[in-house]
Amino acid sequence: MELVMKKDIVVIGAGPAGLSFANSLANTGLNILLVESQSKDALSDPAIDGRDIALTHSSEKLMTAMDTWSRIPADEIFPIKEAMVVDGDSEYAMHFDRARIPEEMLGFIVSNHVIRKALYDKASSLENVEILTDVSVTAVKTDEAAAEVTLSNGETLKAALVISADSRFSETRRKMGISADMHDFGRVCIVCRVTHEHSNQGIAHECFFYGQTLAVLPLSENESSIVITVSSNMADRIMSMNAETFSRHVEGQFNSKLGRMELSTERFPYPLVAVWANKFAGQRYAVIGDAAVGMHPVTAHGFNLGLKSQHTLARLIKDAHKAGTDIGASALLKRYEFAHRKAAKPIYLGTNAIVKLFTNDMPLHRLARKAVLRFGNAFPPVKRIITRQLTETSG
Ligand SMILES: Cc1cc2nc3c(=O)[nH]c(=O)nc-3n(C[C@H](O)[C@H](O)[C@H](O)COP(=O)(O)OP(=O)(O)OC[C@H]3O[C@@H](n4cnc5c(N)ncnc54)[C@H](O)[C@@H]3O)c2cc1C
């Protein structure tokens, strides 16, 4: 006879979004199972993947509330004190400083593997959360009464609700018949770290050059995270440069502003594809994290939005559970869908518009790019809105 395991919620994917969701439902008495295709070792001691994640104040608060911020070692949290955006070969910069927000920092940078470790540490300590590793989900179906998930080990799970948190290319979202708009930017983002001679002073730089984009994000005083966005052809060329040539290339691109630079880590390439799921919820089913919205990294909103999605859904579930009502009710899931689409859409469309404008080097676009930066600087209310949007502060 086939064995059926019963759970309240099955979460597919123990990445940052899935783990956060489980942590948000800590000690609720809800029986949660996370299913992850990676091994337990890969979750408890995640490999470095080159991503240094810029986190907003709102994300810091969410991570604090789920008792995971304090699990990040203090020397792995790097404050962003100021930010500069420059365009083309001009030295003119749009400048974001702390004067515009009540907080002392614009935000923080923490490596993805460090975030994942902190989230796993907490989730694996919870009595109401079980994490099944080395197993992937091969089928999902739902009806009015329950959701059913089939695992690669042949087991079947039944739950009141199933959540996909299995990346922007979510296979289970597809299995549930939810389509997604995907935009392939035809570009690749290369991430790594460099050490440098002069202090970065906690200032983040986003340089929209012609043909490529360079972001220099402050870590410790003499180390920064580098994000280079280029066409796929150029990415191959940059990836094949030896460390010395690469270091001189980045140093030259940055006009030696931080003095001599040396590549200090491996380089990791990420092809850039933005994804917008056409529905965030279905019958006893919802998508969170990148499975709902996969962002271009230029505005650094991907995981910040992922945190928001899981928080919105977890809060509704907690309320329903307290009230003794169905945690997989369609009215609840619709409320989640409405709230998160409303929060994410402007950020998703705004980010794609920025990418479109700042990667188009035609003369008219070049003019518009310069005008946008000058307009932003000249009108403090506009800059305040952008700052608030980027840092998620209320000031
Ligand atoms: C270069 C780069 C820079 C970035 N910078 C920032 C930034 O500065 N700020 C920011 O907020 N965000 C940033 N992001 C985005 C951020 O990394 C993502 O939003 C975040 O990692 C997504 O988390 P997730 O849990 O939704 O998905 P993922 O991290 O993709 O995790 C999905 C998990 O699901 C598992 N899985 C997949 N399929 C199955 C299956 N069938 N069964 C079981 N398990 C499955 C996978 O193994 C994985 O563990 C950046 C992204 C990139 C690429």
- Of the two residues 50 and 379, the one the predictor is more confident about is 50
Atom 1 in ligand 1: residue holding the nearest Cα: 51
Residue 36 backbone phi and psi in degrees, to 5? -135, 135
Give, using CA atoms, the residue closest to atom 39 of ligand 1.
166
Ligand 1 pocket residues where CB is under 6 Å = 12-18, 35-38, 51, 53-54, 112, 136-137, 165-167, 171-172, 189, 191, 270, 289-291, 297, 300-304, 306
Q: Looking at ligand 1, which atom is closest to the CA of residue 136?
A: 42
Model confidence pLDDT, tens digit, residues 282-336: 999 999 999 999 998 888 889 999 999 999 999 999 999 999 999 999 999 999 9
Q: What is the pLDDT of residues 169-213, one digit of tens each?
A: 999 999 999 999 999 989 999 999 999 999 999 999 988 776 788
Which residue has a Cα nearest atom 13 of ligand 1?
Answer: 302
Buried b / exposed e over 64-87, threshold 16 CB at 10 Å, is eebebbebbeeebbbebbbbebbb
Angle formed at CA 350 by CA 60 and CA 254, multiple of 5 degrees: 75
From the CA of 167, how far away is ligand 1's center (Å)? 5
Ligand 1 centre to CA of 14 (Å) is 10
The residue whose C-alpha atom lies closest to atom 22 belonging to ligand 1 is: 290
Q: What is the pLDDT of residue 135?
A: 97
Residue 218 has pLDDT above 80, yes or no: yes
User: Across all residues in the chain, what is the average pLDDT?
Assistant: 90
Evaluate if residue 231 carries a pLDDT over 70: yes
Which of 106, 169, 229, 290 for mutating ligand 1's site (highest number of atoms within 8 Å of CB)? Answer: 290
The three-state secondary structure class of 78 is strand
Residue nearest to atom 11 of ligand 1 (CA): 303
The structure's pTM equals 0.92
Is residue 1 very low, low, confident or very high in pLDDT (cuts 50, 70, 90)? very low
- What pLDDT digit, counting tens, does each position of 51-110 carry? 999 999 999 999 999 999 999 999 999 999 988 887 666 666 667 776 655 567 789 999
Take atom 9 of ligand 1 and give the residue whose Cα is closest.
300
Q: Rounded to whole angstroms, how far apart are CA atoms 204 and 83?
A: 5
Closest C-alpha residue for ligand 1 atom 38:
166
CA of 274 from ligand 1 middle (Å) equals 12
Identity of the amino acid at 27: N
Nearest atom in ligand 1 to the alpha carbon of residue 304 is 11
Where does residue 176 rank: exposed (0-12), middle (13-18), buried (19+ CB within 10 A)? buried
pLDDT at 394 over 60: no
Query: Could you give the CA distance from residue 311 to residue 298 in angstroms, rounded to a whole number?
Result: 23
